[in-house]
Each structure stands twice: as C-alpha cells, then as structure tokens.
Amino acid sequence: MFELTEDQIAIRDMARAFAREEIAPHALEWDEAHHFPIPTLKAAAALGMAGIYVRDDVGGSALSRLDATLIFEALAEGCPATSAYLSIHNMVAWMIDRFGAPEQRTRWLPKLCAMDIVASYCLTEPGSGSDAAALKTRAARDGDHYVLHGEKQFISGAGASDLYAVMARTGGEGPGGVSTILVEAGTPGLSFGANEKKMGWRVQPTRAVIFDGVRVPVENRIGAEGDGFKFAMAGLDGGRLNIAACSLGGAQAALDKALAYTAERKAFGKAINQFQALQFRLADMETELEVARTFLWRAASALDRSDPKATRLCAMAKRFVTDAGFEVANEALQLHGGYGYLADYGVEKIVRDLRVHQILEGTNEIMRVIIARGLVARGN
C-alpha cells in the first residue's frame, strides 16, 4: 500500500522523463501564447498515456487508477494544465470502454488511445454546474437519430477536440432523464463560443459548445437511455483522482523550486533557508504533500478494488489534495518574495493553474456535500 512496485516506479519515471524533456521546457511559453500542445499530447499517447485504464484489446494500457495518479502527478510536474487535459481525454476514453457497446469500443477507442482523435467531456451548462442533473440540453428522438439543442459551458478542449461526450436530456427531469451521446466535430449545427480568457489553464482552450439541431445517429448513444448521468458521475470518480494528482505534481514542482531558491537567495548575510521560520514552512509543505499523496493512493486503490466507499474517498481526495496543493504552491510563491510574482520563475503559473482544481470536476464544496451525505446517513 505504501511502497510502489518496480513496475509502478518504471511507469512514474517514464512519465517524469517525458514531462522533463517534452513539457517543462515549453510550459511557460505555451501558457503565454495560449498554445494547446496537441503534438506533445500525441507523443504522450504513443507512450500509452491516452488510454491509461482502457483495456488493451483496443489499444489501451490496461493500467490501474493508482498507476494513473502516478502518471498525472509526474506529467503535472512539467505543466499541471497539460496533464489535466490528458486526464479529461482519458476520462472520456474510459467511459466508452466501460459502458460502450463492442462496436463503439472498436470504432472509437483505438483512435482515442493513439490520440488520432481528441475528446472533450460536456456536462456543465450555463444554468447548471454544481447541480449538473438540472441540465437542459435536449436530445429529441427523430427516427434513428437524435436531434440536439442546447449549450454546454466551460468545455475543456472545445473547438480543438474531435469527439464530444455530451450529457443530454432524452427523458424527463432529473438524473434519470439524461443520456450520454457522442458527437463528432464537423457535425452540422455544432458550433463553439470564444476561447475564454482565464486565470490559468491557458494551455488548453475552454469554450461553450452550442447545439443547434445537431443530428446524431442513435448508435452514438453510450449504454441505455437514461443511464448517462450515472456514466458521467462514474467518470468523475477517476477524474477527481487525476485532478488531485495534477495538483500534487504542480505543488511538488513549486516546492522543489522553493527549495532551490531559498538555498540560493541571501538576506541578512545568509541563505534564507537558514532561518528556522522558513525551514518550518518548508517542513510543513513537505508534510502536506506527503499526507496528500498517501491519501490519494488510498482513494485510487479503493476505486481499483470497486470499494463501495470509493466515491466518497475520491471526493475526499479531490477536496484535500487540491486544497493542499494550492496552499503549498501559493506558499512557494511567497518564499520567492517579489520574484515569485514574476512569470519567468514559473511559480505564479503553477498557482494560477492549481486554483481551478478547487472549482472543476465538482467544486470542493460539492465534494463536502458528497462526503457529508454518507456521514449524515450514518448518524440516522
């Protein structure tokens, strides 16, 4: 439980080497230019990182959720936002692998695992974020097609992705009326809003996705009508682990920068890491990340075992690790003094990128709602 196997160490080292060579040297430039690094993502796919927990008969790597957290943490040491996008793509690939029909698996997954096509996950709408089951995008049946009308908001990768996993209403109100439907880029009636101007996550586009009479064959529906909300939530259990891992990797990189900087920077005649007040802060940062990592692995292993408590543990991990990761990154910025505020030092980008992890894939307040639900039920 607390030691990695040789295989896991090899997986982590492979992802870490990729992050060091292919991601980290470009991350600041990509952020400044708002550049979405698709060729780099494809190179990651060639190493098995685009279908991490997809079965291997369709090109997946058939690894565990714990393995995935190691990969996303390592990639995030190079750039949290690049790593996080890959996490979303993996989430969609897994939903098709887990809930799709055999023909859907063979049609989409080899291309998704190779990243010949790139995927987006479309749940949030302008009028429904936390209350996702109130979504209004409608998919009306018309013979052997659905016709989609509505709008999704804040969709990562929108406009650049080739495939959109859309949660749309095929039935009545509430979660039981939602289905998951795959929509291909280029389908008439599908359009996108402007690329949002954001605090962080600038290496990936975020746009509204607009459906104006988009006709999609019924065979693009994943699973049964009305099961889409369950699939969306199941995808998010793993997505939350991955986002937490991205926070961990970003925060670790920020701490490493702070360690190097405080060893070098002098004040009052000595290196600032000689002040015990700073040493205590560094010690607390290291402790926070070790605790976060240990718990993240526990939650990932619960999901791997299909533990009935897995959803709650994933929510706890997402809440705790993304909060701890942001605090550590922000503290690392503080330890850089004024230089931490300058883009060239790379810490402010990490802080900006990690901030949104406390908001998306369910806000950290919604994580508390999920955790408290089980607790209150226990008290009854």
Ligand X SMILES: Cc1cc2nc3c(=O)[nH]c(=O)nc-3n(C[C@H](O)[C@H](O)[C@H](O)COP(=O)(O)OP(=O)(O)OC[C@H]3O[C@@H](n4cnc5c(N)ncnc54)[C@H](O)[C@@H]3O)c2cc1C
Residues belonging to the active site: 361
Taking the complex as a whole, the smallest distance from the CB of residue 232 to ligand X amounts, in Å, to 8
Taking the complex as a whole, the smallest distance from the CB of residue 376 to ligand X amounts, in Å, to 13
3-state secondary structure 181-224: EEEECCCCCEEECCCCCCCCCCCCCEEEEEEEEEEEEHHHEECC
Q: Which is nearer to ligand X, 155 or 163 (CB)?
A: 155
Residue of 64, 74, 65 whose CA lies nearest to 18? 74
Tokens for 189?
A: 């009636």
Taking the complex as a whole, the smallest distance from the CB of residue 19 to ligand X amounts, in Å, to 21
Q: Which is nearer to ligand X, 11 or 86 (CB)?
A: 86
Q: Which is nearer to ligand X, 19 or 91 (CB)?
A: 91
Tokens for 53?
A: 């927990």
Element containing residue 180 per DSSP (H, E) = strand 178-184
The single-letter DSSP state of residue 172 is S
Residues near ligand X (CB under 6 A): 88, 120-124, 129-130, 154-156, 198, 201, 206, 356, 359-363, 365-366, 369
The whole-angstrom separation of Cα 319 and Cα 118 is 28
Taking the complex as a whole, the smallest distance from the CB of residue 199 to ligand X amounts, in Å, to 9
Taking the complex as a whole, the smallest distance from the CB of residue 88 to ligand X amounts, in Å, to 6
Tokens for 151?
A: 């709008």
Q: Which is nearer to ligand X, 50 or 360 (CB)?
A: 360
Tokens for 62?
A: 């058939």
Number of Cβ within 10 Å of residue 235's Cβ equals 25
> Which residue has the CB atom at the shortest distance from ligand X?
129
Q: Which is nearer to ligand X, 21 or 365 (CB)?
A: 365
Residue of 334, 300, 288, 257 whose CA lies nearest to 77? 257
